[in-house]
Amino acid sequence: MTVTVRFAPSPTGLIHIGNLRTALFNWLYAKRRGGNFVLRFDDTDPERSREEYIAAIRDDLAWTGIVPDIEVRQSERASEHDAAADRLREMDRLYPAYETAGELERKRKLQLARRQPPVYDRAALSLSADERATLEVDGRQPHWRFLLDQEAVGWDDLVRGSQEIDAASLSDPVLVRADGSYLYTLPSVVDDIALGVTHVIRGEDHVANTAVQIELFQALGGEVPAFGHHNLLTTISGEGLSKRSGALSLQSLRERGLEPMAVACLAVLIGTSHPVAPHHDLDALQDVVDLGDVSRAPAKFDPDDLPALNAKLLHDTAYGDVRDRLAEAGVGGGDAFWTTVRQNLTTFPEITDWWAVVSGEADPDVTLDDDDRCFVARAAELLPADLDATSWGAWTGALKAETDRKGKALFMPLRLALTGRTHGPDLAPLLAIMGRERMLRRLTKAASA
């Protein structure tokens, strides 16, 4: 059996880090088992579905390294959905009901007042053909409900273990609206069958749909897939994420210069038995985490943890992995520059600032006190003729011996004069890149300011 999973967003907004959690659990599950990943756009709502969101979701997934094996749109499969609905009608599993929303609400209130479960009473089933005809002559269009077998439905959830829902406690779900459009349930099952989906992995907000969907798979003669419902990402205060969580959309995280793998690691590892640690690619992440490691409690996360995780990831990112990005950003200095400066980065784009500091033509403006000015002037005189990795040690060693300065007093005026900053990367490996001429110019400028 080839594992086939699907990620099925509705293209009605941008996807956020919580949606990425679902996409990644699917991706990692399938790829670990040599399986396929289907990207299915649940775009049956023509009013709210937008082409721009389809493109954005595709791009966001590609940014994180997810490249679907197959992409489908539900809107292109309407005839299959119609055929399935007709089959259900023929089997008497799909029946017309005429209650208005107001009537249903009144029934519900009455049931609650009588302390009965608010389950649809199937009144529509006992309408005669004449009664139905009269309602339709009056202008009532039916919506269509799926007749549930009122039995217990069980499945062995890949995350939550053995689950059982008594279908008698559920209302027969509406599959087709009065205007003929489908709610999500039927197209989802029809497409899962057609695409050979073997594992449905999604958020636990869908647990309640699963019993109905299992009955639908069976009614339509499809193979019932395995199900796994993972916990949902919530903010620290316990709030869920929604399409309105703009700041946590993948697009805005990307615009903040965060690394896709930092976002991916947080999205997946939070709320599992594994520490939230950086991993450099999805293959590495795939070896770490599987659905059985997901905990049952909500996955509370703090978006403020992202920069620290991003920094950790950059701190051991090899030069070979960023060579092209550095070239694109106009940053030179090769391996030595990257390996020295990566320790000071929170986000990758900051590398261009450091490149400007080390190799730019603008010399910093600094104001030193008299002693430091003399010291820096002497440092200019003692600067070795040829700069290499050992020059810093030799240079500061000579200055230390001559001036008796040590520690901060020795290093800070040099750092300030050379970079204009009080903090920054180790200077020793950067001297050769900065070059003697630029250094002399900056030391002289600081000495005379």
Residues near ligand GLU (CB under 6 A) are 8-10, 42, 184, 188, 202, 206
Q: How far is 236 from 249, CA to CA, in rounded Å?
A: 17
Shortest Å, Cβ 281 to ligand GLU? 25
Query: Any idea of the CA torsion for 79, 84, 86, 88, to the nearest 10 degrees?
Result: -170
62-to-20, 110, 201 alpha-carbon distances in Å: 11, 51, 20
Q: Rg of the Cα trace of the chain?
A: 32
Mode of pairing for the β-strands spanning 94-97 and 70-73: unpaired
Shortest Å, Cβ 253 to ligand GLU? 20
Give the other-Cβ count within 10 Å of 97's Cβ: 19
CB nearer to ligand GLU: pick between 209 and 391 = 209
Mode of pairing for the β-strands spanning 233-235 and 299-301: parallel
CB nearer to ligand GLU: pick between 13 and 96 = 13
CB nearer to ligand GLU: pick between 230 and 442 = 230
CB nearer to ligand GLU: pick between 15 and 309 = 15
CB nearer to ligand GLU: pick between 228 and 333 = 228
404-to-330, 394, 426 alpha-carbon distances in Å: 41, 15, 22
Shortest Å, Cβ 184 to ligand GLU? 6
Shortest Å, Cβ 202 to ligand GLU? 4
Is residue 345 classed as helix, strand or coil in its secondary structure?
coil
Q: How far is 270 from 70, CA to CA, in rounded Å?
A: 28
> What region, left, alpha or beta, does residue 333 occupy, with left being phi > 0 and alpha being psi -120 to 50 degrees?
left
Shortest Å, Cβ 434 to ligand GLU? 53
Q: What is the DSSP string of 371-435?
A: HHHHHHHHHHHH--SS--TTHHHHHHHHHHHHH---HHHHHHHHHHHHHS-SS-S-SGGGHHHH-
The angle subtended at Cα 195 by Cα 190 and Cα 196, nearest 5°, is 100
Q: What is the DSSP string of 51-100?
A: HHHHHHHHHHHHHHT---SEEEEGGGGHHHHHHHHHHHHHTT-EEEE---
Is residue 39 classed as helix, strand or coil in its secondary structure?
strand
Shortest Å, Cβ 190 to ligand GLU? 12
CB nearer to ligand GLU: pick between 224 and 345 = 224
Q: How far is 142 from 165, CA to CA, in rounded Å?
A: 28
CB nearer to ligand GLU: pick between 185 and 252 = 185
CB nearer to ligand GLU: pick between 214 and 309 = 214
Shortest Å, Cβ 216 to ligand GLU? 12
| Nearest-CB residue for ligand GLU | 42
Shortest Å, Cβ 230 to ligand GLU? 11
Shortest Å, Cβ 163 to ligand GLU? 16
Q: How far is 221 from 211, CA to CA, in rounded Å?
A: 16
CB nearer to ligand GLU: pick between 22 and 310 = 22
CB nearer to ligand GLU: pick between 8 and 253 = 8
Shortest Å, Cβ 87 to ligand GLU? 21
Phi and psi dihedrals of 443, rounded to 5?
Answer: -65, -40
CB nearer to ligand GLU: pick between 45 and 121 = 45
Q: How far is 236 from 51, CA to CA, in rounded Å?
A: 33
Shortest Å, Cβ 95 to ligand GLU? 24
* Helix 207-219 / helix 185-194 crossing angle, nearest 10 deg: 60
